[in-house]
Amino acid sequence: MALSWHLRTQDSSVIQTALSVTCDFDSGNIVVLDASSPQNVQLAIRPDTRSPHFQWFHFKVDGMQVGEPHAFSLTNASESSYNRAWTGYNAAASYDQKTWFRIPSQFDGKALNFELSPEQPQIWFAYFEPYSRERHDGLIDQALNKAGTELLATGKSVEGRDIPLLRKGDGAPGKRKIWIIAQQHPGEHMAEWFMEGIIERLQENDPELEALLASADLYLIPHMNPDGSFHGHLRTNAQGKDLNRAWQDSTAELSPEVYFAREQMEKYGVDMFLDVHGDEEIPYVFTAACEGNPGYTEQQKALEADFRARLSGLTKDFQTRYGYPKGQPGKANMNLACNSVGERYKCLSLTLEMPFKDNDDAPDIVTGWSGKRSMQLARDVLTVLGQMVSVLR
């Protein structure tokens, strides 16, 4: 959807200070309400297709006056899916779509407001450093041609976009099968940055990784929900389905993305599952597990504790103090990937949540939580999996 605005005088000549606000590109999302005053640009976030969810925004502003103050207001922030998420949140911005930084933002109970005096006439704003489809294509190419993965299968989204399943390893009998999937929730762009960290490390030859790969194969789905990301959704696919609420009743029509992943898991088996996400509210990295499953085992419990202890020992970018409330025994929502896969395969099964805000244990005032930090976390997760591979079964 193209949304732009030009201030015109009576005789239709364009005033030099006219701002253009657009989102007609990959993962764009904004509605322009009033851009007539650069000091008070009124905007709104557009809901997902066939779903009331919204939170993700991504738009470009052209025609700014360098050095002059500009103020932007996301006027419907209080009605978004996670309205408590705006407190303590700072918007991401970039002049070149490569280097992203945070700008101080304030939530006034209704709108999210931010302002800046730009260094360039054009800028992009986003909820988080976007992981573009173009970069995704490059990542798959890198995985196949440099990181030594093979393309096992290609799923199709509702709108026909490819969902590659990659494998690192030969699939020999007896090897552990470690599955990592990402970005079921399309606005959680940190999840594919995480996958880039995995694939980057696979390109390198280090002893820890070699030890892991001697005993395990990695099954990777770098992006589960390409339609949602393309359309600038927060949470759903093109049918308005929340994929992480579709793991019991997925269908080829409404949630082919999950249908594909489940089919492939049945085909190859699963010995460990990690589902990578971002959390809007909590300013820490944490995992959620399947302790509410009816068939939850002591071994799963022990493996979760082991994973958490090792990862928090390795990096300040993981902790165990903050997270979701524990699931009550037997009360788990089996439509969540982590619970569904944990129940089916009785293996270590985790949801990994990274922040949209920052990790308050190690804050970075310039970038907040970022793509780069998501990539480093992925490398650390591989180290932990290497340490644990012999006990996964």
Q: Which residues are catalytic?
A: 353
Query: Which range of residues in 103-111, 150-158, 183-191, 365-373 is near Zn ion by CB under 5 A?
Result: 183-191
Count of other CB atoms within 10 angstroms of residue 366: 10
How many positions of this chain bind Zn ion (CB under 5 A)? 3
What span, in angstroms and rounded, lies between the C-alpha atoms of 391 and 393?
5
Q: How far is the CB of 158 from Zn ion (least distance, A)?
A: 18
Q: Which window, 187-195, 212-220, 320-328, 356-364, contacts Zn ion (CB under 5 A)?
A: 187-195
| 189 touches Zn ion (CB under 5 A) | no
Is 152 within 8 Å of 115 (Cβ atoms)?
no
Asked if 176 and 198 touch (Cβ cutoff 8 Å), the reply is no
Of the two residues 271 and 353, which places its CB atom closer to Zn ion in the complex? 353
Query: By C-beta, is 185 or 357 nearer to Zn ion?
Result: 185
Out of 60, 70, 185, 241, point to the residue binding Zn ion (CB under 5 A). Answer: 185
Rounded to the nearest 5°, which phi and psi values hold at 362?
Answer: -150, 65
Please, what is the minimum distance in Å from the beta carbon of residue 184 to Zn ion?
6
Examine residue 53 and tell whether it contacts Zn ion (CB under 5 A): no
Query: Smallest gap, in angstroms, from Cβ of residue 376 to Zn ion?
Result: 20
Spatial contact of 104 and 90, defined as CB atoms under 8 Å apart: yes
Q: How far apart are CA 104 and CA 339, in angstroms?
A: 37
For residues 109-148, which are near Zn ion according to CB under 5 A?
A: none
Return the number of the residue (63 or 283) whose C-beta is nearest Zn ion: 283
DSSP per residue, 295-328: T--HHHHHHHHHHHHHHHHH-TT--SSSSSPPPP
132-136: which pairs have CB atoms within 8 A and are 24 or more residues apart?
A: 132/26, 132/27, 132/97, 133/26, 133/27, 133/226, 133/229, 133/230, 134/26, 135/192, 135/196, 136/192, 136/222, 136/223, 136/226
Is residue 82 within 8 Å of 53, Cβ to Cβ? no
**Contacting residue, 136, 161, 277, 344, with Zn ion by CB under 5 A:** 277
Nearest-angstrom CA–CA distance, 216 and 259? 24
Closer residue to Zn ion, CB minimum distance, 139 or 224: 224
Least distance in angstroms from the C-beta of 352 to Zn ion: 10
CB of 148 within 8 A of CB of 157? no
245 makes contact with Zn ion (CB under 5 A): no
Would you tell me how many other CB atoms lie within 10 Å of the CB of residue 123?
21
Q: Based on CB atoms, which residue is closest to Zn ion, 277 or 379?
A: 277
Backbone angles phi, psi at 125, to 5 degrees: -120, 145
Stretch that binds Zn ion, among 82-90, 265-273, 274-282, 303-311 (CB under 5 A): 274-282
Position 117, amino acid: S
In the complex, least distance from residue 278 CB atom to Zn ion, rounded to whole angstroms: 6
- Among the candidate windows 55-63, 186-194, 336-344, 367-375, which touches Zn ion by CB under 5 A? 186-194
Point out which span in 131-139, 157-165, 276-284, 334-342 binds Zn ion (CB under 5 A). Answer: 276-284
What are all long-range contacts of 302-308, with beta carbons under 8 Å and residues at least 24 apart?
Answer: 303/348, 303/388, 303/391, 303/392, 304/348, 304/350, 306/388, 306/391, 307/348, 307/350, 307/384, 307/388
Query: Least distance from C-beta 288 to Zn ion, angstroms?
Result: 10
Q: Which is nearer to Zn ion, 245 or 277 (CB)?
A: 277
Closer CB to Zn ion, 288 or 388, in the complex = 288
- Nearest approach in angstroms of CB 179 to Zn ion is 17
Is the separation of the CB atoms in 194 and 276 below 8 Å? yes
Cα separation, 290 vs 358, in Å, equals: 25
Site for Zn ion, rule CB under 5 A: 185, 188, 277
